[in-house]
């Protein structure tokens, strides 16, 4: 089993969006300024020989929905389609796609995987469906949440989709959110919490909030669930938008096994 990190470019934003009030002025530091930071966008590909599983589909390069607050940048080779190509894969080679949630930097390219089975948290799907059915915009970055998926598994309870791969429910950042735990022979256990934990600063302890969550109480509960799992499984957490950590990760075509 091989696990590839597919680099899909980066976004830039004020750090306070990621870690709420990480920088602010005080009586003794009236000149404090906030930081403009780069945050990675990436997908995870697991190759189990006869099966290819993709966790998240990255940002859609054709539109910049959050261009002022959080612009997206990429080099040609970082496009998801080109990342797959570098591994000699086409979208039709992907058997399963797990969407951690429906925000645009995670589901942006979902439409190119026509033949894959999709996995998404039931609560997330229902929330977006209800909003779209009522012609409302769901709260958050939902531009590419397309629901015309042919083969879809709506995930209610934490489930195993393979002997060594588990999907876990981590709601809070969005209405429903799936993280992924992968047990690798050499590397050990990796836990991908997606935006349930953006960076090591959000993870703490103490856990720190993002600027906005769908449900703050559930956000904290999910972080404690991750902490318990990390301890129990001796897992390494791979944060979703932590450039400091991302720089240290192996990227495709290199892989973990």
- Identified binder of Zn ion from the candidate list 15, 56, 195, 242, rule CB under 5 A: 195
H/E segment holding residue 155:
strand 151-155
Specify the DSSP class assigned to residue 158: -
Cis preceding linkage at 196, omega within 30:
no
Q: Could you say whether residue 124 binds Zn ion (CB under 5 A)?
A: no
- Which of 123/242 has CB closer to Zn ion? 242
> For residues 89 and 167, which CB has a smaller minimum distance to Zn ion in the complex?
167
15 near Zn ion, judged by CB under 5 A = no
Selected range binding Zn ion among 24-32, 86-94, 98-106, 206-214, rule: CB under 5 A: 98-106
Q: Which of 7, 15, 56, 105 binds Zn ion (CB under 5 A)?
A: 105
Binding range to Zn ion, per CB under 5 A, among 27-35, 121-129, 130-138, 189-197:
189-197
Got the DSSP string for 50-111? S-EEEE-----TT--TTTTTS-EE--GGGSHHHHHHTTT--GGG--EEE-S-SSHHHHTTGG
- Distance from C-alpha of 18 to C-alpha of 37, rounded to nearest angstrom: 10
Examine residue 7 and tell whether it contacts Zn ion (CB under 5 A). Answer: no
Query: Please, what is the minimum distance in Å from the beta carbon of residue 66 to Zn ion?
Result: 11
- The DSSP element (H or E) to which 133 belongs, if any, is helix 122-133
Whole-number minimum distance, CB 246 to Zn ion, in Å? 13
Contacts with Zn ion by CB under 5 A lie at 105, 195
């Amino acid at each position: 089993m091989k696990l590839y990190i597919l680099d899909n470019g980066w976004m830039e934003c004020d750090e306070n969006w990621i870690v709420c009030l990480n920088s602010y002025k005080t009586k003794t530091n009236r000149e404090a300024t906030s930081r403009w930071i780069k945050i990675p966008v990436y997908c995870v590909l697991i190759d189990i020989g006869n099966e290819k599983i993709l966790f998240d589909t990255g940002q859609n390069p054709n539109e910049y929905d959050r261009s002022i607050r959080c612009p997206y940048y990429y080099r040609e080779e970082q496009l998801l389609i080109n990342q797959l190509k570098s591994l000699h894969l086409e979208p039709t080679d992907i058997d399963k796609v797990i969407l951690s949630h429906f925000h645009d930097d995670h589901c942006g390219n979902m439409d190119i995987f026509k033949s894959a089975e999709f996995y998404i948290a039931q609560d997330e799907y229902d929330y977006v469906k209800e909003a779209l059915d009522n012609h409302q915009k769901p709260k958050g970055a939902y531009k590419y949440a397309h629901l015309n998926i042919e083969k879809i598994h709506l995930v209610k309870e934490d489930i195993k989709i393979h002997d060594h791969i588990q999907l876990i429910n981590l709601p809070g950042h969005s209405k429903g959110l799936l993280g992924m735990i992968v047990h690798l022979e050499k590397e050990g256990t990796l836990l991908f919490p997606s935006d349930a934990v953006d960076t090591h600063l959000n993870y703490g302890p103490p856990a720190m909030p993002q600027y906005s969550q769908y449900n703050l109480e559930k956000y904290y509960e999910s972080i404690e669930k991750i902490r318990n799992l990390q301890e129990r499984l001796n897992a390494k957490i791979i944060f979703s938008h932590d450039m400091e950590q991302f720089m240290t990760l192996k990227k495709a075509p290199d892989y973990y096994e």
